[in-house]
Amino acid sequence: EREVKQMKTERDEATRVLDGALKERDDAVARQVQQQKMLLERSANVQAALQASVTTSEKDKAENLQKSQAAQVDQLKHALDEMKQELANANAALAASAQAQEL
């Protein structure tokens, strides 16, 4: 009878220790799952930020190219206006020269 009582006590103690170990394991698994969720969320945020950065960079490059091309168009328009003026001046000089020769 005493041995049975001792065995029950040992069994109860082993069950309590085992339950504690199982709870510790379950808590550790829950912490790992939570950490993995946080890491996945951080990874998604970093990926989104990187994509936004790349998109912004590409947009900036396109805008800079557009500005550069617009500046080049303006320069070409200015050069064309100067050439038109020079041509008009040359035509006027030519007409004046022809008129002077007629006299």
**Which pLDDT score, from 0 to 100, does residue 71 have?**
93
**Which pLDDT score, from 0 to 100, does residue 103 have?**
66
**Which pLDDT score, from 0 to 100, does residue 5 have?**
93
**Which pLDDT score, from 0 to 100, does residue 50 have?**
86
**Which pLDDT score, from 0 to 100, does residue 78 have?**
93
d(CA 64, CA 71): 10
Below-70 pLDDT ranges, the chain: 103
d(CA 9, CA 16): 10
**Which pLDDT score, from 0 to 100, does residue 76 have?**
93
d(CA 45, CA 81): 53
**Which pLDDT score, from 0 to 100, does residue 57 have?**
85
Element (H, E) at 74: helix 2-102
